[in-house]
Amino acid sequence: YCKRLKRKGVTRESLHEEYVKQHPDGYSRSHFNDAIMVYLQLSRSVMHIEHKAGDKMYIDFAGKKLFVIGNDNIRQDVEVFVAILGCSQLTYVQAVASQKKEDLIAACENALRYFGGVPEAIVPDNLRSAVTRGSRYEAVLNDEFAAFAEHYATTVIPARAYKPRDKSLVEGAVKLIYRSIYNKLDNCHFETLEHLNAAIVPLLEIHNNKHFSGRNYSRREQFEEIEREALAMLNPVGYEVHKQVMVTVMRNGHVRLGEDVHYYSVPYNYVGKKVKLLYTSGSVKVYYNYTMIAFHSRVRIKHHYTTQETHLAPQHRYISEWTPENFIRQAEEIHSDVAGYISKVLEYKGHPEQAHKSCSGILNFARRVGTVRLRNACRWADNLGQYNYRIIEEILRKQLDQLPAEEETIEIPDHGNIRGKEYYQ
């Protein structure tokens, strides 16, 4: 019965109800509870019985370091990361270069993959790479470690300072691996972390498959029987550590990622605000006061802009639609003659911005004078071999588009200072 208390949802009350069905003349509920308490107090080896399956994974770095000796014969001390599941006490051990957040997160992720699932919470021993500021009630997490936990849909509950029981499991695991792993590696030298970790793996398996003292089952057996099914599913996509930088949103509504000299848009109402960029090899996230306000795929083209139209101020969105494809599409909706003329304007104009302005002005005549007159004006200008806004304006002003076809050879004066009373009629 005590062993089954580890399962989620199992209480002493439910166990007593089951017990009574099997033993109608057995203990009363209070006597049954007393018997369980006596058993727990008499057996220190099962004090972990209160840990629920799939509830917590405890992590810490061992106090004693291991080392590697490279080809240069220089000794390099390395940290040893330890993770243990609270219920089954299945343990994971890995040597890492440092206690920095990158190494902590990588080791923590490897532990989750070793266990094959995610617990409801991760309990670090107030490691600097995981906890920015400790607190008895609500610690402040390192942003990166918090993002890691969010990626794997779990929670971080730092152990309270000066509360030994909060971290007794992992500290006990560290003492055990000193005997089961450290002692076995005493006379061994390794050139790299990879070689050291390769030597740790079989020793770790021996540790996890060894029976508990006074028990007929091991950590591995208890994990397979009770805890594996209680773990949440792993995110199939690995976590990638973010870099971060504080920047100010420019007047044009973009932020600059200096590493790539590339610009990304944010909503226009954040112009002038200080924001945080969190970026990986594939993405750029923009945060303002802990709220993500923009997300982009990372682009490494220098001096270019990545812009989302919804980020632009209303008065700027129209200009964002100025592309050759859009101009030609709008022209085709009027007539193929207009589309052909617009294509040549785009081809003949030296600078794209000037060409786009000319196309916008020409297409706007469809609203002002009608599609028929614009079509005829484009045919006139095409016959003259002139491709710009000015020639279309001049043809329409002088109403040359309305002349009979045989008069289409009339030359247009270079000046256009006089406007007729029927201009654009």
Distance CA 196, CA 133 (A): 33
SS3 404: coil
Q: What would the two tokens of residue 242 be?
A: 């973010």
CB 338 within 8 A of CB 378: yes
The DSSP call for residue 225 is I
Helices (H), 370-416: 371-384, 389-397
DSSP 238-279: PP-PPEEEEEE--TTSEEEETTTTEEEE--GGGTT-EEEEEE
Count of CB atoms within 10 A of residue 256's CB? 16
Q: What is the pLDDT of residue 338?
A: 95
Q: What is the pLDDT of residue 424?
A: 38
Q: What would the two tokens of residue 350 be?
A: 């030296």
- Quote the crossing angle between the two packed helices 352-369 and 324-334, to the nearest 10°: 20
Q: What is the pLDDT of residue 131?
A: 58
CA-based nearest residue to 410, from 424, 399, 423: 399
Q: What would the two tokens of residue 352 be?
A: 């794209």
pLDDT along the chain (425 residues), means of 10: 61 77 81 72 50 89 89 88 92 92 91 96 73 51 82 83 54 86 88 94 95 87 92 92 90 89 92 93 90 93 84 65 78 94 83 78 92 94 92 93 60 45 40
Q: What is the pLDDT of residue 29?
A: 79
CA angle 28/31/35 to nearest 5° reads 135
Q: What would the two tokens of residue 153 be?
A: 């849909």
Helices (H), 215-370: 219-222, 314-320, 324-334, 336-348, 352-369
CB 91 within 8 A of CB 107: no
CA 317 to chain CA centroid, Å, is: 28
CB 88 within 8 A of CB 53: yes
Distance CA 27, CA 7 (A): 22
Q: How many H-runs (helices) and E-runs (strands) does the chain carry?
A: 13, 15
Q: What is the pLDDT of residue 305?
A: 82
SS3 392: helix
CA angle 228/232/234 to nearest 5° reads 100
CB 310 within 8 A of CB 295: no
CB 142 within 8 A of CB 105: no
Query: Between the CA of residue 236 and those of 107, 112, 113, 127, 228, what are the distances in Å?
Result: 16, 11, 10, 26, 17
DSSP 181-205: IIGGGTT---SSHHHHHHHHHHHHH
Distance CA 425, CA 423 (A): 5
Distance CA 134, CA 390 (A): 70
Q: What would the two tokens of residue 2 be?
A: 């005590």
CA-based nearest residue to 257, from 247, 266, 267: 247
Q: What is the pLDDT of residue 110?
A: 96
Residue whose structure tokens are 């089951």: 18
Distance CA 64, CA 82 (A): 12
CA-based nearest residue to 103, from 84, 131, 138, 79: 79
Count of CB atoms within 10 A of residue 173's CB? 25
Q: Give the chain's domains with CATH numbers.
A: 3-50 (no CATH), 56-230 (3.30.420.10), 243-310 (no CATH), 321-407 (no CATH)
CA 401 to chain CA centroid, Å, is: 59
Query: Between the CA of residue 8 and those of 3, 57, 147, 364, what are the distances in Å?
Result: 12, 15, 27, 69
Distance CA 172, CA 366 (A): 81
